Structure 1
């Protein structure tokens, strides 16, 4: 057998393969690999750092700068934040926090301020001490804002002086310089989004108004002033009762089922919990959840824990008090008409997805479940009047759900419209059975039905007169909707079931 390494042995079971480069194929070497700086990478791939380059991503720039100011407030160092949209389309965000340090950083060899503005993953959010909890884009927020701006200017008031540095498309124009004295402290960031990155750089007042008000609700006592110089609009948000006022705001168009708002707050195993609960006469669930001020629209483990505790505690009280007997409400029943704000402070949150809309920390579910369950059980025992309102509301929802189920079953058991024998009496049916070509016209009253009858194409067009204004299906429970004769006529005429 040959031992020549250039002639590998072969066997009937192990065929020998030889790779040959196709004619004209380009080689792959170190020259084909390119290294991008932080600035280049952010500008070429902005969607990796913000949601996108549409209006959503544009407004995210403001959120990132404001998040830094909110982090100062959460740490107890800031109480006022100002946001202004200038006439030229630039935005100013200012706070009265400690101010970004300006001295040279030992690891960088230049100003810490310049490092914060130009170096990714450089800041006080990666180690314990500066911030216990924080929002923003994993500590890269303000750097990304600078990189995606046509120009940016930062002023820092600190240690009796005012320091300033300017940037053009992320590149410092000059060194950090001292430009004056000040007896105040804080950071002022002014930036103008780059039209080379964002097709539309026109900030929307309503979008920023909604988010800034939300942040003021979530950060009790922090004053946020917002002004749009373009339209001379503005408002100051300041809520001393925090999320309790948030619930009042959410229920402003509804009638509360009980006057008091249930408030659960405290630190549980290192997780800060702030929950406000109130039921209203509505039939829908209205729950807003946040982790470190980030809106978790997709929920997560904190919502799972909250829902489990709510259902378990309400049902336990209902059974103990004798209100629940044969029929026990499910989770959806217990949450009918519920308005709640759930705000958590988690030291090391794990969000699923880059957009941070779902919390993934497994330990948080148990913490929230235990804390909410313990508090709510005690509250219901100590407030029997409110407890009875909540428990009976859940029972009523369960009874309505059961009635709706029976009504659906009754409708399904009827013969379909195409099977004959199940058509409403007032239906002027069409003769065709080709579903894609047929049309059903709903008209108000018999007189309108007669007029439509004379002008229709009998082969394809059917007419169904309805008696007056039908029930509002959006505001009524399913059982009431399905019991309505006009609704049943429509279901029967369409023949699709429910």
Structure 2
């Protein structure tokens, strides 16, 4: 495909996104605008999972959403297969049909809806990228999905990371703005799903080195902790057959209140991963009052967002097998 025909195809795609934004953002009101934050943070999480970033900072000022990270930067220094278009520019202006632009894995989300940088750009009145790469700070500006000029070097040095400032287009989203409380809660939860990842939100910093264990304490009834003041909850993190698993369980109760996530997104109807966790708990005759499990599937086939419930049959046995020995050891110590 030559450059002219590629641009023509992209123009059609931009028009399609702007005509039916609800198909991409789920809403043209506040929830749709909030997905801008989730998409930008999720891209940094992908980098964190391959040890290429350690933090992300989010700021919301009126209509402007600003997200900054310390990753390797966007590839403005690399050419794409289109003449005079950098690989970074192509990422921001060409729609892809795969779950991720380069089918990388792992690929995670903060919600059950994955957008992509190019659709987000198409639905923005303004988008500005500043990114360090190969000793240079590159800058490029966009409006409604199209470049406002070539990427330029505005500084040289040994900086690191990327900043993206975006204004959701009021022609699509009217005057909707992200709800601070909703964004704060989502970022707080995300910090607990990725142990060691640092998230900033204005003056706050979220950091959970023990991940789901720390989140579990937040979800428990404080009075229930008085019954077993010295009890240590079950908590494990592991890689098992190309799947990352983190699980935690607390106390004893007539029924288990369960929380679950897959690839960073909550699964309110649970599914295969929770079934495997429940079977492993049953094997050790334990009915905890609270259980939490998050799995990240590294197989690119599962890079797309999960809808409400995980239905991947082999994950049930995989999780059960993975957690069996850790639970036996934990229960053995608990009963001493």
Match of 2:207 among 213, 238, 250: 238
Structure 1 residues 82 and 359: CA distance shift in structure 2, 3 A: same
In structure 2, the partner of 1:150 is 125
Distance, in Å, in 2 between the alignment partners of 1:158 and 1:272 is: 30
Is 1:250 the counterpart of 2:225 in the alignment? no
1:135-284 aligned within 5 A:
135-136=108-109, 140-227=115-202, 234-251=203-220, 253-256=222-225, 258=228, 259-279=231-251
Structure 1 residues 361 and 350: CA distance shift in structure 2, 3 A: farther
Match of 2:322 among 350, 368, 371: 371
TM-score of the two chains, using structure 2 as the length reference: 0.87
Structure 1 residues 126 and 90: CA distance shift in structure 2, 3 A: closer
Match of 1:93 among 53, 67, 76: 67
Query: Is the 8 Å Cα contact of residues 80 and 86 (structure 2) preserved in structure 1?
Result: no
Which structure's relative contact order is higher, taking Cα pairs within 8 Å and 6+ residues apart? 2
Q: Report the Cα offset of residue 359 of structure 1.
A: 1.7
1:77-105 per-residue CA deviation (whole Å, 9 max, x = no partner) reads 1112110011x321100000000111343
1:448-467 aligned within 5 A:
none
Distance, in Å, in 1 between the alignment partners of 2:18 and 2:75 is: 26
Match of 1:46 among 18, 21, 26: 21
In structure 2, the partner of 1:59 is 34
Structure 1 residues 123 and 343: CA distance shift in structure 2, 3 A: same
Structure 1 residues 349 and 123: CA distance shift in structure 2, 3 A: closer
In structure 2, the partner of 1:105 is 79
Distance, in Å, in 2 between the alignment partners of 1:177 and 1:203 is: 31
Distance, in Å, in 1 between the alignment partners of 2:300 and 2:291 is: 21
Greater strand share, structure number: 2
Distance, in Å, in 1 between the alignment partners of 2:120 and 2:48 is: 20
In structure 1, the partner of 2:44 is 69
Distance, in Å, in 1 between the alignment partners of 2:305 and 2:224 is: 38
Is 1:340 the counterpart of 2:311 in the alignment? no
Q: Report the Cα offset of residue 354 of structure 1.
A: 7.0
Q: Report the Cα offset of residue 312 of structure 1.
A: 3.1
Distance, in Å, in 2 between the alignment partners of 1:95 and 1:340 is: 32
1:331-386 per-residue CA deviation (whole Å, 9 max, x = no partner) reads xxx35x2x2221111023777x977322222211110111223321232123315x
Q: Which moved more, 1:70-79 or 1:89-98?
A: 70-79
Task: Tell which structure's C-alpha radius of gyration is larger.
Answer: 1
In structure 2, the partner of 1:295 is 266
Match of 1:286 among 251, 257, 260: 257
Match of 2:106 among 133, 153, 160: 133
1:409-455 per-residue CA deviation (whole Å, 9 max, x = no partner) reads xxxxxxxxxxxxxxxxxxxxxxxxxxxxxxxxxxxxxxxxxxxxxxx
What SS class does the counterpart of residue 37 from structure 1 fall into? helix
Report how many aligned residue pairs link the two structures.
322
In structure 1, the partner of 2:4 is none
Distance, in Å, in 2 between the alignment partners of 1:77 and 1:383 is: 38
CA RMSD, Structure 1 to Structure 2 (Å): 2.7
Unaligned runs of 5+ in 2: 1-8
Match of 2:311 among 360, 366, 374: 360
